């Protein structure tokens, strides 16, 4: 990597190769990247992919509880202690990671990319400015799914933090076209300050899956049991005479409800979180995969990782309408999109009863999945950084 041609700006600077290309990037994330999830997959995929694409990448994260994923082997990872006086929580993690991320970016003359609007919002209180904001979701909308007297106040407070994060960012990454429209139409963010980089999937995770026979009547759900997952629809699916088994793979806030459902309905099998090999093998042997969600701003703006894996596995799927990726899947006849609980169950029953319909969805999903890999997503992000540098977006 050339050591000449460095240019710095008042917000900490960035490394630029003589041809005008960005060289130094510092990503900061407040989560434990040793624990697989949609968010940590996104961060590690972008960090590793940008490094492979020729960027000099640093990654600032809290000290992990387990070994880091091997894809980060080429990335300069800075694990940081985030506890204060023996106390570690979301606020201390965000404050410490944002502050150290800012310092590392300044020391390395790199562009700072902050992962998530709440981290960035807290970072602005510590002097962060002129960074790239990666909006994993619209954070304040989470409180639409929280049944608590404090939820309205917490929602307002988080919206204020997100506004600070967006206003002080040089550029914003949105995970979906819907989120992009929301930022533009409701938050007043200019088009030239937004780039859409959806989530993706790792093809190697599903290698060897899907070779066996499917099990008649098996339906599966995979993913975090977030409050936006519609448990009532899962129960209706499980009670359908057409369903022999509903396998629910995942953990999260609604795990106790799922476990309770498994004790009440014989067809429900709740596994909790499983290693990738086991989870995807269960999915591959299913005839239909599902993603029932309650409609909300959070749900519509999301980029559900599970759907990219569903498509890559080449499975017939029924999904709740709303997210931009669902629009794309439905338009390509790669999924059945539905808007009500009753129509969701009917769509599942129709697919279980129609091998021809399943084959069509399978064929189209596999074809479309080639666009969804993390390699493709990272290539788009690398091109964005080079374009922004040509436009001198990060000039002081």
Q: How many domains does the chain have?
A: 2
Looking at the structure, tell me whether residues 340 and 385 fall in a common domain.
no
Given a contact cutoff of 8 angstroms between Cβ atoms, the answer to whether 128 and 112 are in contact is yes
The pLDDT of residue 262 is: 98
Q: Does 181 lie in the same domain as 139?
A: yes
The backbone torsions φ and ψ at residue 311, rounded to the nearest 5 degrees and listed phi first, read -65, -45
One domain, residues 220 and 99: no
Residue 23 and residue 109 in contact, taking contact as beta carbons nearer than 8 Å: no
Residues 84-93, buried b or exposed e (16+ Cβ, 10 A)? eeeeeeeebb
**Co-location of 303 and 163 in the same domain:** no
Q: In the prediction, which pLDDT does 396 show?
A: 43
Cα separation, 326 vs 347, in Å, equals 15
Residues 179 and 258 occupy one common structural domain: no
Structural domain including 91 reads 24-199+374-390
DSSP, collapsed to helix, strand or coil, labels residue 349 as helix
What is the structure's pLDDT at 5? 25
Asked if residue 363 is part of any domain, the answer here is: yes
Does 106 fall in a domain? yes
The partner residues of 113 in beta bridges, in order of sequence, read: 27, 132
DSSP 3-state percent helix, strand, coil across the chain (nearest 5): 45, 20, 35
Which residue is associated with the tokens 């629009």?
Answer: 327
In 3-state terms, what secondary structure has residue 219?
strand
Please tell me the predicted confidence (pLDDT) of residue 154: 64
Contact by Cβ (8 Å): 316, 287: yes
226 is a domain residue = yes
Do 133 and 36 belong to one domain?
yes
Same domain as 138, residue 256: no
In this prediction, residue 90 carries a pLDDT of: 79
Residue 215 sits in the same domain as residue 323: yes
Residues 205-220 as b/e (b if ≥16 CB within 10 A, e otherwise) read ebeebbeeebeebbbb
**C-alpha dist (Å) from residue 40 to 33, 199, 200, 246, 309:** 5, 11, 12, 27, 16
Domain identity same for 358 and 254: yes
Looking at the fold, whether 52 and 139 belong to one and the same domain comes out as: yes
Tell me 252's DSSP state.
S
pLDDT of residue 79: 96
pLDDT in tens, the chain (396 residues): 222 222 333 333 444 433 445 579 999 999 999 998 889 999 999 999 999 999 999 999 999 999 999 999 999 999 999 876 555 677 888 999 999 999 999 999 999 999 999 999 999 999 999 999 999 887 645 545 556 676 566 667 778 889 999 999 999 999 999 999 999 998 899 999 999 999 999 999 998 886 679 999 999 999 999 889 999 999 999 999 999 999 999 999 999 999 999 999 999 999 999 999 999 999 999 999 999 999 988 899 999 999 999 999 999 999 999 999 999 999 999 999 999 999 999 999 999 999 999 999 999 999 999 999 999 999 999 999 998 877 666 554
Q: Do residues 84 and 36 both lie within one domain?
A: yes
Amino acid 182: pLDDT: 92
Residue 151 has a pLDDT of: 59
Both 259 and 173 in a single domain? no
pLDDT, residue 4, reads 22
CATH of the domain at 221: 3.40.50.2000
């Amino acid at each position: 990597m050339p050591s000449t041609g460095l240019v710095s700006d008042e917000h900490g600077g960035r490394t630029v190769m003589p041809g005008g290309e960005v060289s130094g990037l510092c990503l900061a994330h407040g989560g434990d990247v040793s624990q697989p999830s949609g968010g940590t997959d996104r961060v590690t995929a972008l960090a590793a992919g940008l490094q492979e694409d020729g960027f000099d990448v640093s990654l600032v994260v809290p000290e992990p509880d387990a070994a880091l994923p091997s894809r980060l082997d080429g990335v300069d990872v800075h694990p940081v202690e985030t506890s204060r006086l023996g106390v570690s929580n979301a606020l201390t993690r965000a404050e410490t990671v944002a502050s150290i991320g800012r310092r590392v970016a300044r020391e390395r003359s790199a562009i700072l990319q902050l992962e998530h609007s709440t981290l960035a919002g807290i970072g602005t209180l510590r002097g962060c400015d002129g960074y790239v904001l990666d909006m994993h979701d619209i954070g304040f909308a989470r409180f639409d799914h929280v049944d608590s007297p404090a939820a309205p106040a917490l929602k307002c407070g988080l919206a204020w933090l997100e506004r600070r994060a967006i206003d002080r960012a040089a550029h914003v990454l949105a995970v979906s076209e819907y989120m992009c429209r929301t930022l533009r139409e409701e938050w007043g963010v200019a088009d030239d300050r937004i780039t859409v980089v959806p989530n993706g999937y790792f093809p190697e995770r599903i290698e060897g899956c899907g070779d066996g026979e499917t099990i008649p009547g098996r339906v599966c759900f995979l993913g975090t049991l977030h409050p936006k997952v519609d448990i009532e629809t899962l129960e209706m699916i499980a009670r359908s005479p057409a369903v022999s088994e509903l396998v629910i793979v995942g953990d999260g806030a609604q795990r106790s409800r799922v476990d309770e459902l498994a004790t009440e309905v014989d067809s429900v099998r709740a596994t909790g979180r499983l290693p990738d090999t086991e989870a995807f093998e269960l999915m591959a042997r299913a005839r239909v995969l599902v993603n029932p969600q309650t409609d909300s701003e959070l749900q519509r703006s999301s980029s559900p990782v599970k759907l990219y894996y569903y498509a890559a596995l080449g499975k017939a799927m029924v999904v709740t309408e709303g997210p931009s990726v669902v629009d794309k899947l439905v338009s390509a006849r790669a999924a059945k999109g539905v808007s009500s609980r009753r129509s969701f169950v009917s769509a599942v029953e129709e697919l279980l009863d129609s091998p021809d319909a399943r084959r069509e969805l399978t064929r189209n999903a596999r074809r479309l999945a080639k666009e969804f890999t993390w390699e493709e997503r990272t290539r788009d992000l690398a091109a964005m950084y080079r374009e922004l540098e040509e436009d001198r977006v990060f000039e002081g």
